[in-house]
Amino acid sequence: MYLFNRTISINVRSENETTLKVEGVFLDSQHELCLTLEVDLASYIITSAEGELRRAPHSDCSQTQKLIKNLVGINLNRNVRKQIQMAVGLSDGCTHLTDLTLECVKGLLQAKFRLLRLKMKEEEIKGLFGKYLEGNCLHYKKI
């Protein structure tokens, strides 16, 4: 017998030459959260944030939905976790909304790398990926 389940789904698409849009869904035994972010590719800043807490275990959880607008303006180039926690998490926010937002940002990074692969030569990409990902996993282990 399963006592708990959780699924997080992230989809990223290119809206145009300058904007990426990410749609995230966090679904578990007690929660259903949806989040849509738009990010400017040149600055890597969140330009739009919309979402909904469709299901939550406590009546006061719905109050955290209004915090989603605080994601607009976050610069995804540095201190991302801290900025997101300050915007939608910690004691006045929702840890699940924080988690979903961070997963959306990870998806955006993967999409950004995918776009680079479409525009750059393989030699250029290897050095760039190594710089960004050094120390994050076995393949990019610091030597």
Q: Is the pLDDT higher at 135 or at 102?
A: 102
SS3 6: strand
CA distance 44 to 28: 30
**Lowest-confidence region among 2-11, 91-100, 119-128:** 119-128
Contact call for residues 84 and 73 (beta carbons, < 8 A): no
pLDDT of residue 125: 74
- Number of CB atoms found within 10 A of residue 69's CB: 14
Fold of the domain built from segment(s) 6-133: Sufe protein. Chain: A (3.90.1010)
Q: Is the pLDDT of residue 57 over 90?
A: yes
Q: Which residue has the tokens 């950004």?
A: 112
CA distance 35 to 97: 8
- Kindly indicate the confidence band of residue 104, based on its pLDDT and cuts at 50, 70 and 90: very high
**Lowest-confidence region among 17-31, 59-73, 129-143:** 129-143
Tell me if the pTM is above 0.75: yes
Q: Is the pLDDT higher at 110 or at 120?
A: 110
Note the pLDDT tens digit of each residue in 8-56: 999 999 988 899 999 999 999 999 999 999 999 999 999 999 999 999 9
What's the rounded mean pLDDT across residues 108-130? 79
Mean pLDDT of the chain: 91
